[in-house]
């Protein structure tokens, strides 16, 4: 008997009953993306409220991060920031549906992009462009907006990402976000592929605030604390001679979105990776202070082997 191909077996595996909830979530996502703006806003608020109720220890992690980064914030202000953060997380789910399934007309009506001249100047060098960003809640929409701008320059956008554990969601990310990027989603473990794309003159989206281990990280200041900071992107930029171009997106008070391409950081990468990491962290700090509720606060960013402000003997979640 002929054996089915791996692709066929994988496709059949993904429709197993255990994956039906994931397919339901994706179906609801399509409906959200097609909904009127007022409905989408209400869904974002509702998801944020539900998330805050179910977050458990993650709320304490966020609160600890607030205490570290904003030590002068009083408890009522901190609680208000926590509510706004979960609201932004709910909006982030809605923004992801728009990034995957929203029409170009809808995305263009919602989003503005500034600093195109910096992107154009980087693109005209003929070398690759690294869009150096961070984990703000509208990041999925930011990738879609970036490709819209790169289209005008005839450039392809790729993005480095960590694949989710759910294979159905990962397949959706590859198919839908990838379709609007023109390029590919590249696993964070496949650095060689990222290098190849940049050497071909393409663009790469990279979040510079990911926690790093000893091999790919250095200690650098972030909100007055030393944190392990990724340096792989500096090494990739040196190898490919790509331009490091800061790029961020925030939701405005009116519900629209503002994406910004900033000037390249002068002399980055340099021979001092710790100094480069500190400069990138300072840039991300500035962006966080501009929209503090929209930064992703649920990770243990400040934990180190010798320092764990999140320590809880009952906590088994070590992510």
Residue 190 lies in a domain: yes
DSSP 128-153: -EEEEE--BTTHHHHHHHHHHHHHTT
Coil, strand, or helix at residue 315? coil
Nearest to 233 by CA among 205, 266, 252: 205
Nearest to 247 by CA among 151, 79, 113: 113
Residue 56 lies in a domain: no
Total domain count for the chain? 1
- Determine if the pTM surpasses 0.85: yes
- Residue 3: predicted pLDDT: 38
Q: How confident is the model at residue 97 (pLDDT cuts 50, 70, 90)?
A: very high
Residue 260 lies in a domain: yes
Residue 197 lies in a domain: yes
In terms of residue numbers, what domain contains 119?
Answer: 111-294
Residue 86 lies in a domain: no
Q: What Rg value do the Cα atoms of the chain yield, rounded?
A: 20
What share of the chain has pLDDT > 70, as a percent?
94
Residue 305 lies in a domain: no
- CB count in 10 Å sphere of residue 252: 12
Residue 9 lies in a domain: no
Burial class (CB in 10 A: 0-12, 13-18, 19+), 12: exposed
Q: How would you write 81-133 as a 3-class SS string?
A: HHHHHHHHHHHHHHHHHHHHHCCHHHHHHHEEEECHHHHHHHHCCCCCEEEEE
Nearest to 96 by CA among 28, 162, 155: 28
What are the angstrom distances between the C-alpha of 81 and each of 76, 92, 209, 260, 318?
9, 16, 21, 24, 24
Q: How confident is the model at residue 7 (pLDDT cuts 50, 70, 90)?
A: very low
Nearest to 208 by CA among 267, 276, 116: 276
Nearest to 310 by CA among 188, 207, 211: 211
Residue 249 lies in a domain: yes
Q: How confident is the model at residue 39 (pLDDT cuts 50, 70, 90)?
A: very high
- Residue 174: predicted pLDDT: 83
State the Cα angle at 188 between 202 and 228, rounded to 5°.
Answer: 115
Q: How confident is the model at residue 161 (pLDDT cuts 50, 70, 90)?
A: confident
| CA 138 to chain CA mean position, Å | 8
| Distant-in-sequence, close-in-space partners of 173: CB < 8 Å, separation ≥ 6 | 161, 163, 164, 185
In angstroms, the CA 113 to CA 142 distance is 10
């Amino acid at each position: 008997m002929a054996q089915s191909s791996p692709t066929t077996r994988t496709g059949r595996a993904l429709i197993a009953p255990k994956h039906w909830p994931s397919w339901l979530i994706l179906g609801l996502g399509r409906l959200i993306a097609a909904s009127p703006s007022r409905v989408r806003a209400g869904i974002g608020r509702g998801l944020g409220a539900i998330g805050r109720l179910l977050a458990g220890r993650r709320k304490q992690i966020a609160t600890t991060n607030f205490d570290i980064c904003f030590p002068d914030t009083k408890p009522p202000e901190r609680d208000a920031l926590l509510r706004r953060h979960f609201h932004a997380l709910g909006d982030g789910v809605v923004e992801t549906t728009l990034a995957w399934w929203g029409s170009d007309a809808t995305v263009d009506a919602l989003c503005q992009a500034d600093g195109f001249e910096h992107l154009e100047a980087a693109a005209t060098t003929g070398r690759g462009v690294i869009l150096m960003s961070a984990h703000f809640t509208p990041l999925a929409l930011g990738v879609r907006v970036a490709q819209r701008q790169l289209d005008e320059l005839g450039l392809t956008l790729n993005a480095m990402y960590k694949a989710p554990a759910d294979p159905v969601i990962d397949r959706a990310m590859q198919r839908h976000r990838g379709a609007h990027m023109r390029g590919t989603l590249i696993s964070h473990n496949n650095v060689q592929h990222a290098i190849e794309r940049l050497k071909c003159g393409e663009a790469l989206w990279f979040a510079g605030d990911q926690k790093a281990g000893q091999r790919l990280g250095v200690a650098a200041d972030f909100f007055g604390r030393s944190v392990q900071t990724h340096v792989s992107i500096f090494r990739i930029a040196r190898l490919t001679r790509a331009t490091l171009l800061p790029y961020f997106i925030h939701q405005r008070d009116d519900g629209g979105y503002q994406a910004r391409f900033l000037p390249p950081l002068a002399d980055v990468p340099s021979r001092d990776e710790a100094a480069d990491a500190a400069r990138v962290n300072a840039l991300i700090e500035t962006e966080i202070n501009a929209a503090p509720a929209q930064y992703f606060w649920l990770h243990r960013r400040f934990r180190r082997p010798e320092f764990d402000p999140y320590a809880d003997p009952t906590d088994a979640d070590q992510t």
